Amino acid sequence: MESRAAVEALEGIESSVAALAVCVRGAAGEVAPTGVDPAGGDPAGGDPVGLDPLRDQADAFLDGLAEAGRMEARLAALKVHLAAGYAAAAEALAAPAKSPQEHTAQEMAVTAEVACVLTVSERTAGALLCEARTLTAGLPLTLAALQAGTISWQHARILCDETANLEPAAAAALEAHFLDPDAVNPARGCPAGELVPGRFRAKARAWRERHHPVSIETRHTKSAADRRLEYVPDRDGMAWLSAYLPADTAAGIWDRATTAARALQGPAEARTLTQLRVDVASEWLLGGVMEGTPSPTAQVLVTVPVFSLLGLTGEPAMLDGYGPIPPSMARRLVADGAASIRRVLTDPRDGAPLEIGRSTYRIPTALRQWLRLRDGRCPFPGCNNPSLDNDADHLLAWADGGTTGISNLGQPCRMHHRLKHTTAWTPVGATANESPGWISPTGRSYPSEQQDWEPPHWPEPPDHAREDLARDDRDWEPPDWPASFDSLERFEGPGGLDGVGSPLPVDPFPDWALFTAA
């Protein structure tokens, strides 16, 4: 079985080698370059291939990098098949274990052999064997994607981690959500392999939290008992101070410290945002709020399914910048009425955002909060910069005819905001519910990560409804859509977030376009 799979993996590597050879020779000018987009034509949308040798060479280098990445993934798949095949062969060759201790000794011998062959530690070899066993026995879609080169070895390891301790059906559902396009409610936005591993882990973990067989309330109660503050000395007169605490508290502290650090920035301030953030937190912890240090309130968005907010279902809520939280935590945040918390209700019909608190409707803050809700973070591919640190920006400049609507707005971090205004990187394709993708100076398109909104759970029918169903075989239907929800505008049309007259937070880089033009 593994022998045949290894042969198929080797055939994939051979095709990658052939394609890579064409790219490398094209980069060296030995053959006609092949740098074309999937639809055909020049990737940069300019001259036909061959008329600009330098552009063709640059495209060949990029195509070679992409093919090298696919070959690395295929090599990893071959490594998995070989490791799993050796483990199975060694087990067949060994005499039946007469005790658990003897079985453990046999496994140790296999691990030691693999470690010596690869010149790695036994711990690393043991992890490889464990992951090989998981991929070959329980994650066929993941192994197939790795062998096809559409995901990396890091992505495959993340799926092994996030499916650990799940029942086979739950593990298969998580894997299908990201790798099977025909799955019920598959992952939205760019494919799993086009997300950087860190962002893919966040999305996989969020989906796992929402669909874990053990309720998040139960798991949170157990984990909250382990909250603690840790101190670890380090080199050069430095130390690490970390806290393990409930997510809503941690998010509020982080956002408040970031806002205070932003307020201290200016021409006369030499400290970086990272340095200011830790200095502000240190001052607060050691002596309270010191003179000259702002003490702003945090601005945290919590997205709550309507029926979960009412206590009718146990679905997790989503805390901006963190992920799923227990519904009891979300209900407490909303009930406390804290100014730092903005609650976002979701539509019981499709899971889409329904409205942001009425106190912030039709004011500049609403636009920024909607962008935070839509994007979650800087929409540049792979960027993990949180929403609070990002800028509101027109995709198509107002001076060029761009409107002030949600579909023409982005919230890039300051680095990628500068990238947009000073280079040919261009954000495109934003909608009310989808972040903009990006087109590079070479004309290649890179999709942005999208939020995985899910239809919420409907509450179970009451007992009297169950009795009616049993008596006359009627189909129970969820309660009528409340008229009060129909009256809520969804930030569309004239005067809403898609209206030309909508307000926009001040662009902190208004002069970049003039600088570029000059």
How do residues 301-321 score in pLDDT, each as one tens digit? 677 777 777 777 778 887 777
What secondary structure does DSSP assign to 108-134, as a single string? HHHHHHHHHHHT--HHHHHHHHHHHHH
For residue 472, the model assigns a pLDDT of 54
Instruction: Using DSSP bridges, classify how beta strands 341-346 and 353-356 pair: parallel, antiparallel or unpaired.
Output: antiparallel
Yes or no: say if 26 and 56 are a contact pair by the CB < 8 Å rule. Answer: yes
For residue 65, the model assigns a pLDDT of 93
For residue 182, the model assigns a pLDDT of 87
Question: What is the Rg, in whole angstroms, of the alpha carbon atoms belonging to the chain?
Answer: 27
For residue 133, the model assigns a pLDDT of 95
* Token pair 């608190």: residue: 357
Question: 91: helix, coil or strand?
Answer: helix
- Whether this model's pTM surpasses 0.85: no
The tens digit of pLDDT for each residue in 198-257 reads: 989 989 998 888 888 888 888 888 889 999 999 998 888 899 999 999 988 888 888 889
Q: d(Cα 57, Cα 174) in Å, to the nearest integer?
A: 41
The tens digit of pLDDT for each residue in 446-505 reads: 988 887 777 667 777 666 655 655 555 555 555 554 443 433 333 333 344 444 334 444
Q: d(Cα 173, Cα 183) in Å, to the nearest integer?
A: 8
Low-confidence ranges of the chain (pLDDT < 70): 1, 31-50, 288-301, 334-367, 388, 398, 404-405, 455-456, 461-518
For residue 40, the model assigns a pLDDT of 40
For residue 292, the model assigns a pLDDT of 56
Domain ranges of the chain: 2-216, 228-287, 300-453+489-517
